[in-house]
Structure 1
Amino acid sequence: MRNWPLSELSVTTPRLELRHPSLDDLDELGERASEGIHEPGYMPFLFPWTDTDPAGRARSTIQYHFRMWGEFAPANWSIDFVVVHDGQIIGTQSISAKSFLVTREAGTGSWLGRRFQGQGIGTEMRKAVLHLAFAGLGASYAVTEAFEDNHASLAVTRKLGYREDGLAMHDRQGKPVVTHRFRLAREDWTESPGFEIHNLAACLPLFGLDT
C-alpha cells in the first residue's frame, strides 16, 4: 500500500519471516489463536483475552490488530508482526513504544500457537524485533515484563542478556501476582548474523524519524 508503507515492512532471520500482516495473514493468525496458546487454567496475559471460546479468540486477535493500525502515531505505536515459519503463520511478535522520540525505549510482546512452542522459535522472533529496535529504529533500551510463573518467557529474556529492572504487582483474574520487569541496553545487545530488515526507510516518517 503506497500510503501505508508499514504494510511492506518485514524482518527475516535464518528460519523466520516477521511481516506486517495482510487480511489473509490475520485470518490465519486467528486460526492459531483458536487452536490454543496455553494450557487451560493458566493465564500468561495481563488482559485475559484468551479466556473465551475458540471463535472468540480468533475475533479478538483480528480486532486487536485493527485497533493497532488505527491508533499508530509517533507518540504511541505498536507494530504487531505475524511470524511465518515454513510458509505457515505460527504466532505474533510485537514491538511498541510511547514517546519513543524522547525515551528511545521500546517494549516487546508475543505469543505462539501451542504446537509450535518449545522449538527455540520464541527466542529467534524476539531477537528479530530487537534487531529492528536497535539496528533499525535507533533504540537505546528494550524492555519486557512477564508473570513470575511464565517460565518460557522469562527463560527467553534471560538468555538474551536483559537485566532485572524491578517487580510489579497485578490483579490477575482476582488474584495478586508478581511480574518481573527487564531492561536491555543497546550496549548489552549482541547483533546476530542472518537478521535483515526490509523496507524500513519508507516507514520512518510514520515514527517521526528521519530517513
Structure 2
Amino acid sequence: MSHATDAPPDPWPPRHLVLRTPRLELRPDDDAGLDELVAVGYRGVHPPEQMPFHVPWTDADPRYLGRGMLQHFWQQRSVLAPENWALHFLVRVEGRVVGVQTIRADDFARRRTVASGSWIGREVQGRGIGTEMRTAVLTFAFDHLGATRATSAAFADNRASLRVSDKLGYRRTGTTTVVRRGEPAEEVQVAVTPDEFVRPDWTVTVDGYPACAGLLGAAPPA
C-alpha cells in the first residue's frame, strides 16, 4: 500500500502575502480586517459634498453600508482566478486598518497590465499614506509579478489622487466623461511603466509571494 507523503497545496496562498513599507503593512483582505475596514468607512472617507468613486457606495443607507462593503469584498475574493483577479490589500498603520489598496488585472499572463484603486479614512489623510501604499503595490507589480504597465484613474477634481499619480511618474493618457451622482464628470486616466516609475529612497519588502504566482497568472520566481 502506498501513502502520499507530500502535503496538499495551500488552498488560499494570498493569506500569507504581505507587503511592508517603513510605515505600512498591506495584506489581502480577511474577515477580521474587513470588520475594521467597515468601521473606517463609517467614520468617513470623504466630505459628503464630494464623490471620488464610480460606484457611490458611501452614499448607501447607513443601515446597510457595512453589509454592502462586506458583500463586495467577499464576492471579489470568491471569483479570484488567474484570468481575472483583484487583490484588496488592507492597509495597516501600527497594526490598525486605515484603508484599502486594490490591484487588479484581466488576462495578466498575456497583457501584463494592472490597474489600481484605493481609499483611506479621513482621519489619516494628508500624511502621505496614499503615496506610500500605492508605491508598495507598484513595486510588487513591477518587481514580482512582472507587470509592464500600471494604470489608474481619478475624477479631475480628485486632486489628492492625481497628485499621488504625478509623484510616482504616471503620465496622463486621456480623459472620459462619467456620470457621477446623475451629473457628467471628467475622469483623468493615467499610466506608468517600470522605467517611468519614480521609486522611493526606502525599500518595499514582499513575503509570501511565490505561492501566489500561479493564482495571479504570473510566472513563478526563478
Common topology (TM > 0.5): yes
Which of 197, 207, 210 is equivalent to 2:216? 207
The answer for unaligned runs of 5 or more in structure 1 is none
User: How many residues are aligned here?
Assistant: 211
Question: Could you tell me how far apart the structure 2 residues matched to 1:15 and 1:190 are?
Answer: 19
What does 1:31-50 correspond to in 2, within 5 Å?
A: 31-50=39-58
Cα deviation for residue 157 of structure 1 reads: 0.6
Specify the structure having the higher radius of gyration (Cα).
2
CA distance in 2, matches of 1:198, 1:170: 38
- What is the TM-score normalised by the length of structure 1? 0.96
| TM-align CA RMSD | 1.3
For residue 188 of structure 2, what is the aligned residue in structure 1?
180
Instruction: Provide the identity percentage.
Output: 40
For 1:210 and 1:50, the matched residues in 2 are separated by 37
Structure 1 equivalent of residue 165 of structure 2:
157
Question: For the residues of structure 2 that align with 1:27 and 1:111, how far apart are their CA atoms?
Answer: 16
TM-score by length of 2: 0.91
Is the alpha carbon distance of 1:171 and 1:32 closer, same or farther for their aligned partners in structure 2, counting shifts above 3 Å?
same
| Aligned partners of 1:130 and 1:142 also within 8 Å | yes
> Is the 2:167–2:198 Cα contact (8 Å) retained in structure 1?
no
Deviates more, 1:59-68 or 1:150-159: 59-68
CA distance in 2 between counterparts of 1:105 and 1:179 reads 20
- Deviation, 1:116, is 0.8
Q: Check whether the contact 2:83–2:106 (CA below 8 A) recurs between aligned residues.
A: yes
**Which consecutive residues of structure 2, in runs of 5 or more, have no partner in the other structure?**
1-8
SS of structure 2 residue aligned to 1:135: helix
For residues 48 and 217 of structure 2, the distance between their equivalents in structure 1, rounded to whole angstroms, comes to 42
For 2:219, give the aligned amino acid.
D
- Identify the residue that residue 118 of structure 2 maps to in structure 1: 110
The 3 A distance-change label for structure 1 pair 55 and 114 is: farther
Greater mean alpha carbon deviation, residues 46-55 or residues 27-36: 46-55
- Which moved further from structure 2: 76-85 or 60-69? 60-69
> What does 1:18-167 align with in structure 2 at a 5 Å threshold?
18-167=26-175
Structure 1 runs of 4+ aligned residues shifted over 4 Å read none
CA distance in 2, matches of 1:29, 1:75: 27
Shift of 1:55: 4.1
Compared CA separation, residues 205 and 130, structure 1 to 2 (3 A):
same
Distance 2:84 2:61 in 1: 31
